[in-house]
Amino acid sequence: MFRAAGNLSKSMMRTQRRFLNLQEFQSKEILEKHGCSVQKFVVASNRKEAEEKWMSFGDHEYVVKAQILAGGRGKGKFINGTKGIGGVYITKEKNAALEAIDEMIGKRLVTKQTTEEGVRVDKVMIAEGVDIKRETYLAVLMDRESNGPVVVASPDGGMDIEAVAEKTPDRIFKTPIDIQMGMTDGQALKIAKDLQFEGNLLGAAATEIKRLYDLFIAVDATQVEINPLVETADGRVFCVDAKMNFDDSASYRQKEIFAYETFEEHDPREVDAHQFNLNYIGMDGNIACLVNGAGLAMATMDLIKLHGEDAVFNAVRIITSDPRVKCVLINIFGGIVNCATIANGVVNAVNKIGLKVPMVVRLEGTNVDAANIY
């Protein structure tokens, strides 16, 4: 009874689902492909590249935006920043925009969504400024409560959306969508009204909302968040910021999107584990656990049959490479895979690695007595 290798190991060391998380510029490339409205932009890793790719936005302002996976950039601060600018800088002057690039690249940006150490900025987006009249919030999410997609909308979008959720939750509207039927025109219109679009703009906003929903389904997203979705002074609707997450289980059919994955901002131990199809979650504390989760026996069987002892070896190697780990606890229930096979795998791994910390192994289930000889 075998399932595909990718799936199996997911039930193995997984305590949490992993979702691919993209940079804003990547999300906007996808939005553009699906017909959503985004401003013109270029992406650069340094000032020279920005100058080469430079786009004149005519009378519009330039918006320089640090590309990191965390949100809250507008109100963020650079460690050792000299100009007091944050992760979103708006200017009419080309030179000031170029200076902002120099200021951002290579520095660490701290926002309320990062740790105190912040995240190093390696790329910036230079986008066309839009004349914003109103900022709204729109997100499409996979929602446990409604067992399917839900659209979360608020007319009070922008950088203080967390405060809106906390202080005026009645200003946040949720519309569950039937995943089989898709979003109806009536629902799209209702959401546009929730966002307080009016007159001519109501239709344009409804169209944009429907496109965003259709995109969410087409790309196997778990989240498409547009904050802000804006109304401009000249009566247009734009996705000014975008954050998208994707279901890792869909990576086999979303190859183009998963090709964006860079691992740059990931925990290096998780990256290492990923190469061996292991799901490793680095956490604080000093007891390391190698466990198999819900589909216990099957997952273990799959792991050992398909990945052989290499998987056990790599799992033990990765968790013991963390200097904070003072002890390893292995807790496995041997069902279809018998305990003797697992014990053999663990003993071989330990012999190869030369363990420097104590390891406690608990095996229970089929062939547990035979496992004692190892």
H/E element, 154:
strand 148-154
Q: Which of 62, 137, 213, 280 is catalytic?
A: 137
d(CA 368, CA 364): 6
137 is catalytic: yes
Compute the distance between CA of residue 238 and CA of residue 230 in angstroms, rounded to an integer: 5
- 156 near ligand ADP (CB under 6 A): no
Choices 63-71, 173-181, 270-278, 320-328; region in contact with ligand ADP by CB under 6 A: 63-71
Which residue among 128, 135, 225, 309 is the active-site one?
A: 225
132 vs 325, beta carbon nearer ligand ADP: 132
225 belongs to the catalytic site: yes
Q: Where are the alpha helices (DSSP H) in 113-167?
A: 161-167
Q: Is 135 in the site for Mg ion (CB under 5 A)?
A: no
Site for Mg ion contains 136 (CB under 5 A): no
359: contact with ligand ADP by CB under 6 A:
no
Window 310 to 349, contacts with Mg ion (CB under 5 A): none
| Residue matched to tokens 């992760």 | 87
Name the binder of 149 from ligand ADP, Mg ion, none, CB < 5-8 A by kind.
none
118 is a contact residue toward ligand ADP (CB under 6 A) = no
Contact status: 72 vs ligand ADP (CB under 6 A): yes
| Selected binder of ligand ADP within 127, 239, 339, 346 (CB under 6 A) | 127
Least distance CB 157 / Mg ion (angstroms):
8
- Give the tokens for residue 349: 């791994």
Q: Which does 73 bind (CB under 5 to 8 A by kind): ligand ADP, Mg ion, none?
A: ligand ADP
Choose, by CB under 6 A, the member of 118, 228, 335, 345 that binds ligand ADP. Answer: 228
241 touches Mg ion (CB under 5 A)? yes
Nearest approach in angstroms of CB 373 to Mg ion is 60
Query: What is the closest distance, in whole angstroms, from the C-beta atom of residue 74 to Mg ion in the complex?
Result: 7
Q: Does 28 bind ligand ADP (CB under 6 A)?
A: no
Q: Any contact of residue 244 with ligand ADP (CB under 6 A)? A: no
159 vs 370, beta carbon nearer ligand ADP: 159
**What CA–CA distances, in Å, run from 198 to 183, 201, 202, 289, 342?**
20, 6, 5, 55, 64
- Tell whether residue 71 is a contact of ligand ADP (CB under 6 A): yes
CB of 77 to ligand ADP, least distance (A): 12
Of 21, 227, 254, 279, the one binding Mg ion by CB under 5 A: 227
Q: Cβ of residue 238: shortest distance to Mg ion, in angstroms?
A: 13
Could you list the residues that contact ligand ADP (CB under 6 A)? 39, 63, 65, 71-74, 88, 90, 127, 129-130, 132, 135, 158-159, 227-228, 240-241
- Which residues are annotated as catalytic? 137, 225
Could you list the residues that contact Mg ion (CB under 5 A)? 227, 241
